[in-house]
A and B are shown apart, each in its own frame.
Chain A
Amino acid sequence: MRSLHNIFRLGLKELWSLFRDPVLMGLVIYTFTGAVFAVANGVRTEVRNAAIAVIDEDRSEVSDRLRDAFLPPYFRPAPLIDLNQMGPAMDRGDYSFVLHIPAGFEADLLAGRQPDLLLNVDATAMTLAGNGTAYIRSIVQQELAGFLHSGDTDLPATLIPRAWFNPNLHSSWFFAVMQVIGNVTILSVVLSGAAVIREREHGTIEHLMVMPVTALELMLAKIWANGLVIVSAAVLSLLVVVQGVMGIPVPGSIGVFALGAGVYLFSVTALGIMLATFARTMPQFGLLAIPVFVVLYLLSGGVTPLEAMPEPLHSLMHLSPATHFTSFAQAVLYRGAGLGLVWRELLIVTCIGTVFLALAQSRFRKTMAAAR
């Protein structure tokens, strides 16, 4: 009871400190509005605005028809270029694709000789290269089939893909929510850890440690206060920015998400505090935090699929609370999964957080008192 009271009071103090730094509050707001909006609206993994050029050595009806088939918004208008222009232009990154139609293509096509078309792809852009190639292939085949007046391609059977939860595979749906989660991670690690370092650099930790307050109470106060600000900001961001301004449907329960976010926040703020016990000064902490939040942000399944990761790394990432929370959030928000399906992820996140907290506590007193 006394403990809860202390945790509550110290947490209120923490909130004061946050609100007293207008630049910091401005950054928090930007993180959950502007940053989410810019990324979700700007980044596309579907083929869009792809830059393609055509080398037409055939100059035939079919080659014209192919060139006209690349339409906006998927492609930018395809210019005609010469073969010797291709190298430099692709080097500069002017075009991601160059379709090369060889001389005699139409004749070979009509004669049924199955001629070759060459597609040059800038493979340094991994996301676009793969999907774009598949997309261009299907456009080309459709056009050729149309040209040969055979209506649709006459395959013996067809595969009809349908995407659940996001029927048109709008990448903005994915990025909006993942951006919120990624920013939650960065914010929690940095804010909680830096709050500890600041108290140490200003000597206030030392003062608290002669008060009837335990290290655990101190840490839990930081966790709830920073957690509350961040969870509120994240939920507001989902409701106002993602659903409201961007009009992205979020089929799942925001309530379940908020609960999970609370659990996750416990885990990552504990991580931030633990990191703070390894650094002596703010510059050290800043540098220590970078690798941690970059890995959590990039490798938790929110940017690239977890399945694609090579083995030791793939298993290692399961030690990260962010991995479990990302999969929790995807299940809850996109797929409308209820607590019954995702409780295991939450349990794991809690366990990982508890380990961080225990480690932090075991180091806390020693490292804090030895300050200066």
Chain B
Amino acid sequence: MSAEPPAAARLTGVTQRYGAVTALDDVGLTLRPGGVLGLIGPDGVGKSTLLALMAGVRRLQQGRVEVLGGDMADPAHRAACAPRIAYMPQGLGRNLYSTLSVRENVDFFGRLFGQGARERRWRIDELLAGTGLAPFAARPAGKLSGGMKQKLALCCALIHDPDLLILDEPTTGVDPLSRLQFWRLIDRIRARRPGMSIVTATAYMSEAERFDRLVAMEAGQVIASGTPAELRAKTGTETLEEAFIAFLPSDKRGDHATITLPPLPERDGAPAIMAQDLTRRFGDFTAVDHVSFRIEKGEIFGFLGSNGCGKTTTMKMLTGLLDPTEGTAELFGRPVDASDLATRRRVGYMSQSFSLYAELSVRQNLVLHAQLFQFSRDRQRERVADLLERFDLAKVAEARPAHLPLGVRQRLQLAVAVLHEPEMLILDEPTSGVDPVARDRFWALLIGLSRQDGVTIFISTHFMNEAERCDRISLMHAGRVLAVGPPDELRAARGADSLEEAFIDVLRAETETADPDAAPVPQSGQTPSRPRSPLLSVGRLWAFARREGIELLRDRVRLAFALIGPMILMIAVGFGISFDVENLTYATLDRDQSAESRALMRQFEGSRYFSDQGRLTSLAAMEDSLRAGDIRMALVIPPGFGHDLLSGDAPEVALWLDGSNTVRAETARRYAQTAFLDFLVEMSETETGTTPEIYPANLEPRFRYNQSFESAEAIPPGVLMMMLIMIPTMMTALGVVREKELGSITNLYAAPARKLEFLLGKQAPYVAVAMVSFAILVAMLLTVFGLRVQGSAGALVTGALLYVGAATGFGLVISTVVRSQIAAIFGSAIIVMIPTVNFSGMLYPVATLDGVARGIGQGFPALYFRNISAGVFNKGLGFADLWANHLALAGFCLLFWALAAALLRKQEA
């Protein structure tokens, strides 16, 4: 620490293990301030882990990581230096929000770093102008091409003028022109801010030439470091690509040799693929515009073009995944037909994004596909073993793809695509993110397939050295094919030295007016505002809330479901749940056949509670009818009933009830007893002319709060309680776990934000939606159900606010615990529904609950809001009577916040 300037980052003895896999093994390296350090190495050697550790988004296991003069294992230092670090994770736009526009995305990051409105405005303007994104400021990030996404991600990373920029394969899957622009942009930014240090990983050796220093990694260890020239000199090779291969241990190099393409033998017969004026529109956007081509059997046909130019859409139309809007496509001389299973067996397809099962192991994925292609058991074993070997997957055969690096996953996808030995391969950027050795091996395989087995290969790529290995290539841009021909011809036609130049030349001629290189270099002398990080920053909280809110507002379908669902349920459940049983089916077994027995039957027939199903002939018939569910109740009048009644012998009439539904049976018993008493009174009146004194005193029930004793008065306030917990919980329960599944959670890890700001920000928009829903539901209670706010409206609204606060908080707790969105949905359905419906006084009074159930009911917020809701609507109560419930709900809010904050991790494992 004496004369040397402090390093921007220094790693010593860093070791990271995941299960049996050692990701990093005693790694040490130093990044000089203002330097650009490039990490190169095959897939899965620990480059991403290393970068994530430097960014502080992963928890360090062993060793020491010093960044910007402090220890990254220390949370206080991490929090202090987070505003000075920018981290761009691997994957195209993985940390962007796809429904937010370009400007909104950058704006969100600006807010996260506490910048004021004016500062954000000039910074965003400057960055967008500098990256050429200015014309697309209003476009949603999800609709950008891959290259534009990466530029946008860079804007987001640069908004706060970081001192350390960490880029994890920023240009993987990006076309050459965009790649060129991307690095030029970085150069210009460096020229402006010489103090900024950059560390990056890349799969393109041509890019690695630009970096000051390179670190070559292999199996979690640093195997070489130095300037690009030094590395080339050390191995005595001409290019970095060759140097890279030379550095590898000999067993990794395999049978590497320069790839050559034997000439395509003449073949006759129908072409393998024919496309005629193929067109596909999405709304008013034309993704593919009258594309025609013809590919012969056994040909390797390369598809090149900028990101988002329609390559993927064309491929999907060929596989039948998408129907063309216009034009025709033929495979093997037959029109593409989505339902044609025979053709599917002859085609292997690999999609751009990983589309295998992350929850199955590598071997299981291969076996599943072998089974789906009806391989015999022996052939399955043989083929899977062969592919594991050939694609260098044997070591990870039992690992799950979710835990494997991008390049290894791509190899697995390739293995699956060729598994059934198809006659045609349609491969959508199969080698993006794959290291040079593996790529060469793969190409050797493709060429073998094409030349020996006559397999037709239709492949898209961004690697120019791959394009040169194709028989013919086509250049595509903005949905149209610009040029088709053998690589050499295309290069010659443009008079370019390399295919890359030719390609860039063609694209430039086509691309938009605004060449970003011509745009002014961002010039800001102003230092970024870096306010001290307070305990709870309202600005950052608002940044999270605003972003979540915009996403919610853009998702109209979700918003509609969230508001309409409760309305439908209010009607269905409010009217449907009813204990006012009517029309109970019953039948009579009359063994007396007297005037009296008929009078008794008339009494039942006349009641609106009962519905007569006729006479029974025997007890056996009665049993059958009850068993079949045809009747719910049977009246058995004994022989001699009339006689005994008149002679005062007190005969007994049997009432058989279907006990399978106890609620119904109890109600039926009550009604029957009343009807029977009425019968006795009437009998007595007609026989003796006097009203008998059956009871010595009258018991007059007075139903308070619901005079007419109707379910339609008592149930709807409970439905309000149910809706205000189920929907908000469901909405927030997916919040955190979804960001985990889709990757944007990294922003929380990398940003100088506190957990509570993130959680409260997530919660706020859903509280707002829930309150809108509350207003709608209350309006329904007042109009449709004719209820009145008899008590204090203030108590109701305050209670609702606290209640939805607790509900959304509970959703966040679920979200931090579960691993998958499925578990979150299921958890918030079952965990919430059972106590809400059963233990919160909606159907059954809490006072009658026993033991555990009562405890669960009291330990859940629903009960307290139901007290408020029923208190205000049915009982006419106010704050004075209900405050204890408000207090309880507030307590739940605090409890759930504390729990969610405690359970949420601020770093990856």
Contacts and interface: CB of A to CB of B under 8 A. Distances in A.
B270 to A, nearest CB: 21
A24 B663 contact: no
Nearest to B400: A20
Interface string B524-563: 0000000000000000000000000000000101100110
B730 A126 contact: no
Contacts of A49: 847-850
A298 B829 contact: no
Contact of B847 (A9, A51, A167, A331): A51
Nearest to A217: B372
Contact of B565 (A22, A128, A290, A301): A290
Given A27-B830, A307-B581, A335-B629, A202 B561 contact: no
Contacts of B666: 45-46, 131, 169
A309 B344 contact: no
B680 A156 contact: yes
B362 interface: no
Contact of A309 (B578, B628, B629, B741): B578
B738 to A, nearest CB: 7
A76 B315 CA distance: 74
A137 B653 CA distance: 21
Contact of B580 (A158, A160, A308): A308
Contact of B561 (A41, A183, A288): A288
B822 A198 contact: yes
Nearest to B707: A123
Given A9-B371, A298-B577, A299-B576, A140 B697 contact: yes
Which residue, B364, B372, B583, has most C-beta atoms of chain A within 10 A?
Answer: B372
B851 A41 contact: yes
How would you classify the secondary structure of chain B's contact residues: helix, strand, loop or mixed? helix
A281 B572 CA distance: 26
Contacts of B561: 284, 287-288
Contacts of A198: 820-822
Nearest to B348: A210
A308 B825 CA distance: 31
A148 B696 contact: yes
Interface in B818-864: 818-831, 833-834, 837-839, 841, 843-854, 856
Interface stretch (B29-37, B186-194, B351-359, B515-523): B351-359
Interface of A: 2, 5-6, 9-10, 13, 16-17, 20-24, 27, 30-31, 35, 37-39, 41-51, 76, 88, 90-93, 96, 105, 108-109, 112, 114-131, 133-134, 136-137, 140-141, 144-145, 148, 153-167, 169-171, 173-174, 183, 186-187, 190-191, 194-195, 197-198, 201-204, 206-207, 209-214, 279-291, 293-295, 297-299, 301, 303-305, 307-310, 313, 317, 327, 330-331, 334-337, 341, 365, 369-370
A156 B364 CA distance: 79
B696 A161 contact: no
Contacts of A159: 652-653, 655, 672-673, 676
A41 B850 contact: yes
Given A41-B852, A125-B845, A129-B709, A117 B699 contact: yes
* From A6, A123, A158, A209, residue with most partner B Cβ within 10 Å: A123
A91 B871 contact: yes
A51 B843 CA distance: 17
21 contacts: A2-B374, A10-B368, A21-B822, A23-B820, A24-B823, A46-B662, A92-B881, A108-B697, A121-B703, A124-B717, A126-B711, A128-B845, A133-B701, A141-B696, A157-B653, A170-B662, A203-B351, A210-B349, A295-B572, A301-B661, A303-B577
With most chain B CB atoms within 10 A of its CB, the pick from A35, A144, A212, A281 is A212
Given A169-B662, A289-B825, 13 more contacts: A21-B822, A38-B853, A42-B849, A91-B877, A112-B693, A122-B704, A159-B655, A165-B659, A211-B369, A283-B555, A304-B843, A331-B627, A334-B660
Contacts of B652: 157-160
Interface string B366-404: 001101111000000000000000000000000000000
Given A38-B856, A160-B654, A187-B826, A90 B626 contact: no
A202 B358 contact: yes
B527 to A, nearest CB: 41
Interface stretch (B80-88, B217-225, B316-324): B316-324
A37 B851 CA distance: 11
Among B555, B626, B656, B661, residue most surrounded by chain A Cβ atoms (within 10 Å): B661
A282 B665 contact: no
B655 A124 contact: no
B852 A38 contact: yes
Interface in B673-721: 673, 676, 680, 683-684, 692-707, 709, 711, 713-715, 717
Contacts of B358: 202
B626 A96 contact: no
Nearest to A194: B822
B351 A291 contact: no
A111 to B, nearest CB: 11
Give the interface centre of A20, A128, A327 by most chain B CB atoms within 10 Å.
A20
Contact of B819 (A21, A157, A190, A206): A21
A91 B569 CA distance: 28
Contacts of A165: 658-660
Contact of A207 (B322, B356, B698): B356
B9 to A, nearest CB: 35
A118 B693 CA distance: 18
A242 to B, nearest CB: 14
A205 B667 CA distance: 51
Interface string B873-886: 01101000100000
Given A140-B699, A203-B354, A335 B626 contact: yes
B669 interface: yes
A162 B354 contact: no
A121 B702 contact: yes
Interface in B724-743: 726-727, 730-731, 733-734, 738, 741
A131 B844 CA distance: 12
B372 A298 contact: no
Of B626, B841, B850, most buried by chain A (CB within 10 Å of CB) is B850
B811 to A, nearest CB: 10
A283 to B, nearest CB: 5
A101 to B, nearest CB: 10
Contact of B673 (A96, A122, A161, A281): A161
B345 interface: yes
B657 A161 contact: yes
B670 interface: yes
A190 B557 contact: no
B11 interface: no
A9 B368 contact: yes
Contacts of B693: 112, 114
A144 B569 CA distance: 47
B699 A119 contact: yes
Given A212-B372, A290-B730, A164 B578 contact: no
A186 B673 CA distance: 38
A144 B665 contact: no
Given A126-B579, A291-B569, A294-B569, A21 B823 contact: yes
Q: Which of A170, A211, A297 has the most CB of B within 10 A?
A: A211
Contact of B704 (A121, A148, A164): A121
B661 A174 contact: yes
A5 B380 CA distance: 15
A50 B839 CA distance: 15
Interface stretch (B204-212, B240-248, B643-651): B643-651
B629 A331 contact: yes
B138 interface: no
A369 B324 CA distance: 12
A285 B825 contact: yes
Contacts of A197: 821
B180 interface: no
Contact of A183 (B585, B656, B830): B830
The 9 closest A-B pairs by CB, nearest first: A42-B853, A166-B659, A163-B659, A334-B660, A123-B706, A287-B561, A123-B703, A125-B845, A203-B355
